[in-house]
Amino acid sequence: MRKLAAVMTILASAVLGTPAATAQAYPSKPIRIIVAYPAGQGTDIATRYLAEQMSRDLGQPIVIDNKPGAGGNLGTELAAQAAPDGYTLTMGTNATHVLNQFLYAKLAFDPEKDFEPIALVGTFPMIVAVNTTFSINTASDLVHAVQRNARSADIAMPSTTARLVVELFKERSAAPLFGVPYKGSGNALTDVIGGQLPVMVDTPTSLRPHIAAGKLRALAVTSAQPSGLVPGVKTISEQGYAGFEVIAWNALYAPKGTPANVLNTLNAAMNKVLQRPETRQKLLDFGFDPAGGTAAQLHDFTRSERRKWQPIISAAGLKAE
């Protein structure tokens, strides 16, 4: 018995002395995903759905924390300052992790150095839409309207990406388009559907229900090729403005310094969810083309996006208000 007790003591000491035994398996408590946009916007809707699916696989609740403000910078700054333990993440966008660093004079975070990429979630074009009571049917009609009357085609812009679309289209068309900034889709939709403004630029998630209901009419999509998310709608490029392309996207990030094993767990969980046919269909219904892939692929993708947009934004002199 003494020998058995001694052996058990040695084994117990060996097991308890290993890092695997002392470290808690991840995740062991609820995870928070910061969404730097208002509830009900496209990023928020998709994140809530994906979080619900990932929560089942990871065995822990995932809470969505909406922190809108400053074009997405407020919530993104909070995420960058969070503990790098995998329990605070953020659903980044092409605005928060590419465009804003070129549009704003100063950011309190570095979108590349302060974050660990996890996975690209989805991509989508923006839609240019008009209140159906206005006699604007094409991108060219919009240009002609504003040339006749400078305030006849004011455009609601509920996001940084929407502003980029307006500014880039203004530069390509040489028309004095006037963009009206909004903090979110809700108020912009209210004003455009109500007739206070004729035109808006927003995501498929936000606009498709109102287009289907006949309250709005889609004039164009901002992708290089026609999008299955808005069948039958021509691109701006097809309507006489060759080379015009603006694609928006969402991707999951963690604060810099988050352990590799945690990042790998989250990447695997996200890809597992994105590979399910029902998830892919749901994202398409929301207005997203599902993505996925490795953290390295997301890192390379965002770098290529920065190389693409920095000279365009600089040449156009675009600045956040």
Q: Pairing between strand 247-255 and 115-125? A: antiparallel
Tell me the average pLDDT across 66-71: 92
Which class does domain 29-123+248-316 fall in?
Answer: alpha beta
Domains 29-123+248-316 and 127-239 share a fold: yes
Tell me the average pLDDT across 163-182: 89
Domain range annotation of the chain: 29-123+248-316, 127-239
pLDDT band for position 122 (50/70/90)? very high
Instruction: Return the minimum-mean-pLDDT range out of 22-26, 54-58, 122-126, 135-139.
Output: 22-26
Q: Where are the alpha helices (DSSP H) in the chain?
A: 2-16, 19-22, 42-58, 73-80, 94, 100-103, 139-148, 160-173, 185-193, 204-212, 260-274, 277-286, 295-316
Most confident of 100-104, 265-269, 315-319: 265-269
Q: How many CB atoms lie within 10 A of CB 49?
A: 17
Q: What is the pLDDT of residue 191?
A: 97
Residues with Cβ within 8 Å of residue 126, at least 6 apart in sequence: 161, 162, 165, 201, 202, 203, 221, 222, 246, 248
Residue 1 scores a pLDDT above 50: no
Mean pLDDT of the chain: 90
Residue 13 scores a pLDDT above 50: no
276-285 pLDDT per residue, tens: 999 999 999 9
222-252 pLDDT per residue, tens: 998 898 899 999 999 999 999 898 989 999 9
pLDDT higher for 298 or 170?
A: 298
Q: At what angle do helices 295-316 and 160-173 cross, to 10 degrees?
A: 50
182-227 pLDDT per residue, tens: 988 899 999 999 999 999 999 898 899 999 999 999 999 999 889 8
Query: Tell me: domain 127-239, CATH 3.40.50.300, correct?
Result: no
